[in-house]
Structure 1
């Protein structure tokens, strides 16, 4: 009986919920949103309280300072490259053959015309002898033809004399004339053969001379890439046997200048460079060439620049890697401030800037062109900057205009600033 009553009551409750539009899912959902709103409210109260407490903290700040100074400013462009001789010559063999002797070694000083190496000349000498024999034969042929001319000339003369008296027929006179003409033609051919034989001999003598390798310049042997007994094949290209440097007391430094800096580089500018072999020593140099042609390596565009180097002490060697600082601008007696002073901003200003707008500012989207507009303004005012003067223990802003900079100090071109003023460059702070 009781169970039947419970079923009836349950059906009545279900009918009532259905009539009023109430169900358990809706009740649970409303309960969830209610507590979510409560949690968000509590979180907002905590954030606001923390900001109020944070703003109420006492700050004590100590500042690191420096003085405005007057002095000189050097602007340099850095580039790397290698040292090379002013004139470097590769000496090779124009003919194929076997090396018989090598007469010089690394670092040997040589004179122009000095013999560096000799090749085996047995075959070359045989060809020269053959060419000489051909020339001798051609000369003998010339003499033989000349004798024939003399003989035929006499016969022709007698035939003409006899023809005057009627004792020589016309046919005999014509035959004598023809013999003489043939002899003259043979002489011309023999002389041409002599010239040809002489040319062949000269060619073989030239080839024989090439078997002796001479130095084309006064200099020093940098590389010797040949040994006695080595076979040289000069069929397609001249094999290099020696590399000579003309004069190591004068050298060249070839550096690659970045395309962003090449506009500041000019012939005649002074530079200094260092090499790894003498890390604590600098060497002077002067720009002699700035190439117009570019070089591109891995997408980086550079321009080769050549500097003249005095190497009288012979400390520098070809192939050394050097790092050069090229002086592109030098200013004297100008107001200078450290770049750290231009970068400094008081911590209070930083906190105000970072807290302005708070959460709502970060949630509200900015106009799409706002960032671009700020970039344009910054670009137009890139020389207008601000430094902070320490007065009565507090930072005071001063606006000024800047000029050239070497990355450490910057030139001041205008502004209410003078030498000796104390500028803030950093903060040493603590919170209480």
Structure 2
């Protein structure tokens, strides 16, 4: 039989009614707001900062320039590559087209000149067959062969091998131009996506090294909270659990979120083992910014329409819990089986009925 210490008769002022309601067991945590999309930006080449187009707080669209390095040399290389490509394309177009009268006239004139030179050298050798005359004769014969080949090429067009070589020259020139344009593009720091500039780490005229951090952007329309859960509580935490959130910057306002990520690896914070987690939340239109502090209650257990009493109504009975029921005549203590508690109220699983009056301490 239950035996508890005698208590004085409670009054209406310290009596409450066991009632039905919803209760949540929670795990508390703190965290910081961060952007879901955050990028630290750099350029692969060194140079001097020529201009800064966007500053902290400015909104940028994807591809919009934030700052530029001096690009005089890169611009010149692009212009030279463009000119070279145009010349190679012109060479190919001429080779593929019908021979021009101008080219035919030049080829014929060169052939006539080479023919006359070869005839003259042959006559000189016939008159005086010396070694020197023979050398001249051989050179003029070679020049004549070249002139004939060139004239035939003008009349008949280039060979397949020559056209392939010209096409390869065009392709190589295009690659040179692409490389020059890419080098020029690498003098401009652009936003990778629509976002807000949160940091600019350089000044105009400053010399910066390749891959140095120059700026940072963040998408302020997609926010989350990074937090750590104590190892004592992490066994109760799960993805998709509801989170009650309060921000230091907005006292009195409550926001709702969900646990979206729970990392399996532990870390140590101030001597305590914790597990990192991420919480998504609804800003409700408030201007919440990265870096703001948040206090959270993660609902690890949710129970609906259960019997509840205030924690102040519970008394220790050895290893069990009891409540004092206020009934006509002498109040009596009964053992109860408890369930979930939220720190203020506790679920009563067995031992009490809805509507029972119980005393509170």
Q: Give me the TM-score of the superposition, normalised by structure 1.
A: 0.59
Runs of 4+ off more than 6 Å: 143-147, 149-152, 174-181, 390-395
The answer to whether the 8 Å contact 1:68/1:335 transfers is: no
**Quick check: which has more Rg, 1 or 2?**
1
**Structure 1 residue 106 displacement after superposition:** 1.4
Residues 67 and 422 in structure 1, CA contact (< 8 A), matched pair in contact too:
yes
The match for 1:232 is 208
Q: Is the 8 A contact 1:285 1:310 kept in 2?
A: no
* 1:305-354 residue CA offsets vs partner (Å, 9 max, x unmatched): 3223325231x110112111123334344332333443446xxx9xxxxx
**CA drift at 1:292:** 4.6
Distance 1:136 1:340, change over 3 A: same
- Where structure 2 has 5 or more consecutive residues not aligned to the other structure, the ranges are 112-141
Q: Distance in 2 between matches of 1:200 and 1:103?
A: 29
1:258 matched to which residue of 2? 230
Does structure 1 residue 402 correspond to structure 2 residue 349?
A: no
Q: Does 1:277 align with 2:245?
A: no
Q: CA offsets per residue over residues 76-123 of structure 1, 9 Å max, x none? A: 222221111232233332332111111111111223333322221111
- Please say if residues 127 and 204 of structure 1, whose CA atoms lie closer than 8 Å, have aligned partners that are also in contact: yes
**How far 1:404 moved relative to its partner?**
1.2
Is the contact between residue 255 and residue 284 of structure 2 (CA under 8 Å) also seen in structure 1?
no
Q: Are 2:33 and 1:97 aligned?
A: no
Call closer, same or farther: CA 1:400–1:344 in 2, change over 3 Å. Answer: closer
CA distance in structure 2 between the aligned counterparts of 1:91 and 1:424, rounded to whole angstroms:
61
Q: CA RMSD in A?
A: 4.0
1:234-260 superposed Cα distances (whole Å, 9 cap, x missing partner): 1xxx33322222243x42122223344
SS class of match (1:278): coil
Greater relative contact order, per chain length (Cα 8 Å cut-off, separation 6+):
2
Q: Counterparts of 1:333 and 1:145 in 2: how far apart (Å)?
A: 89
Q: Deviations over 1:170-218 (max 9, x none)?
A: xx9x99789979x634443343233212211221012112323333322
Listed as ranges, the gaps of 5+ residues in structure 1 are 1-58, 156-171, 350-377, 379-383, 426-432
Structure 2 CA distance, aligned partners of 1:303 and 1:215? 29
Q: TM (normalized to structure 2)?
A: 0.69
Query: C-alpha separation between the residues in 2 aligned to 1:334 and 1:136?
Result: 83
Q: Does the residue aligned with 2:29 lie in a helix, a strand or coil?
A: strand
Task: State which of 97, 101, 106 in structure 1 corresponds to 2:56.
Answer: 106
For 1:257-336, list aligned pairs within 5 A.
257-287=229-259, 289-297=260-268, 298=271, 300-314=273-287, 316-336=288-308
CA distance 1:139–1:74, shift in 2 (3 Å): closer
Larger helix proportion, structure 1 or 2?
1
Whether the 8 Å CA contact 1:99–1:228 is kept in 2: the answer is yes
